């Protein structure tokens, strides 16, 4: 297939065409020519879109679907279509399925189901068998099968020796260990951030201390063992400080923040909308300020949509019984543009690949086409009509977002959002 993109502004600091408005000719999945006013004969499709911008393809480090076991939430096929229409060419897929992705066969099955899709899948294997937090799973076998990291999604490692063993063992193949930051003995049966709002609403709270104590413990263990640790979705001011201090010590640690934790506070809970029930919980303005600063200064390594589809039967119930989670792929770009410059936003959406051992695409002649297409202009109200996922549980519903995602070009695949 021969594609010609007209007057696309390139946002890619690794490209010689960064911040230039160019035509791009793509033939059989490769960028053949980049120039101005290109004259190309026999083009299968010419793409002209209002205020078209392109960047190297976006990557999300924490995406959940449902298949196998929870197909009513999301299938791999439809989930990848939703990711593509949201501008993502690559996702890290969490292991929280039924059965849990905890061996080589499960990794192979996921990759097989995702094969030939425009969006590439990088599976995360469960750290422990069945994600039960008792015995280490077959980490090396999963690594051989294509797993990029290992963690029990949204489940903390209660036993400190288990984390110690995991960090030591994973060093044999340069594996990345994920540890969800929550001490369950302190979090208890908490539902929301422990603050004035939780008291006012009569909801059980999850104190910031539950996150921070777990991070302190994990960092001490990392200092002892060495290895590579990633702490997904931090949410408090002190968590940022702790990780900043650990990096100054030279510890090999990274962390992420969920996009909704950058925009919304626990004040949103007043309506008892179960879409606002997320983990970690929405915190305070002070926490948000620290998280944004942490991102800008590089203490926080990446953002994630933390995409977590939940079927209506488990969301449209009393707040106490609703499952944690919000979808986020469709709103990621528009939400980030509310807070950051375009260059910063694209940097956050593309820059986390390296931590997971994935190659960074670049917009250059001769390179495989791996492009996200978008416009940063305009604003809109996010509604269910903007959602491509099977589940509609979004904390961003009725929020004002910025820009527009047009779709992706990934190799020979062109996906354009309606």
Enumerate the active-site residues. 306
Instruction: Report CA-CA distances (Å) from 178 to 155, 209, 237, 346, 390.
Output: 10, 19, 20, 24, 27
Q: Taking CA 391 as the corner, what is the angle to CA 387 and CA 392, rounded to the nearest 5 degrees?
A: 50
CA of 128: how far to CAs of 132, 178, 234, 295, 342, in Å? Answer: 6, 11, 21, 30, 39
H helix count then E strand count, the chain:
12, 18
CA distance 18 to 22: 10
Are 84 and 415 in contact, with CB atoms under 8 Å apart?
Answer: yes
| CB 156, CB 181: distance < 8 Å | yes
**Residue pair 342/318 in contact by the 8 Å Cβ criterion:** no
Element holding 378 (H helix, E strand): strand 370-381
Rg (CA), the chain: 21
**H or E element in which residue 256 lies:** strand 253-258
Instruction: Evaluate the omega torsion of the peptide bond into residue 99 and state whether it is cis, within 30 degrees of 0.
Output: yes
Q: How far apart are CA 402 and CA 197, in angstroms?
A: 29
Nearest to 100 by CA among 37, 174, 154: 154
Distance CA 311, CA 316 (A): 9
Contact 382, 332 (CB under 8 A): no
Nearest to 301 by CA among 338, 253, 358, 265: 253
């Amino acid at each position: 297939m021969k594609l010609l993109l007209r007057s696309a502004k390139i946002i890619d600091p690794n490209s010689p065409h960064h911040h230039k408005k160019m035509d791009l000719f793509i033939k059989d999945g490769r960028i053949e020519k980049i120039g101005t006013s290109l004259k190309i004969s026999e083009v299968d499709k010419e793409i002209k879109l209002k205020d078209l911008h392109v960047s190297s393809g976006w990557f999300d480090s924490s995406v959940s679907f449902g298949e196998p076991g929870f197909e009513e939430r999301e299938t791999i096929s439809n989930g990848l279509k939703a990711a593509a229409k949201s501008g993502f060419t690559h996702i890290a897929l969490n292991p929280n399925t039924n059965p849990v992705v905890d061996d080589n066969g499960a990794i192979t099955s996921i990759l097989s189901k995702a094969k030939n899709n425009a969006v590439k899948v990088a599976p995360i294997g469960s750290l422990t068998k069945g994600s039960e937090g008792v015995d280490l799973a077959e980490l090396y076998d999963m690594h051989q099968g294509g797993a990029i990291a290992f963690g029990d999604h949204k489940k903390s490692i209660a036993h400190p020796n288990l984390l110690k063993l995991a960090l030591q063992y994973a060093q044999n193949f340069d594996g990345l260990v994920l540890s969800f930051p929550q001490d369950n003995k302190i979090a208890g049966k908490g539902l929301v951030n422990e603050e004035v709002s939780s008291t006012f609403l009569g909801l059980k709270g999850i104190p910031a201390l539950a996150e921070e104590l777990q991070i302190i413990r994990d960092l001490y263990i990392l200092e002892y063992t060495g290895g590579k640790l990633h702490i997904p979705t931090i949410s408090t001011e002190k968590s940022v400080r702790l990780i900043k201090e650990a990096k100054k010590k030279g510890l090999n640690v990274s962390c992420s923040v969920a996009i909704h934790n950058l925009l919304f506070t626990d004040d949103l809970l007043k309506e008892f909308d179960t879409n606002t029930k997320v983990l970690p919980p929405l915190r305070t303005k002070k926490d948000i300020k620290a998280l944004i600063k942490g991102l800008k200064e590089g203490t926080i390594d990446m953002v994630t949509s933390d995409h977590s589809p939940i079927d209506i039967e488990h969301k449209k119930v009393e707040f106490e019984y609703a499952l944690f989670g919000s979808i986020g792929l469709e709103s990621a770009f528009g939400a980030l543009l509310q807070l950051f410059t375009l260059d910063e936003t694209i940097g956050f959406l593309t820059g986390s690949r390296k931590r997971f051992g994935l190659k960074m695409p670049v917009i250059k002649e001769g390179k495989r086409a791996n492009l996200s297409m978008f416009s940063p202009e305009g604003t809109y109200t996010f509604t269910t009509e903007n959602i491509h996922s099977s589940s509609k549980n979004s904390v961003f519903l009725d929020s004002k977002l910025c820009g527009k995602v047009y779709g992706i070009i990934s190799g020979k695949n062109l996906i354009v959002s309606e």
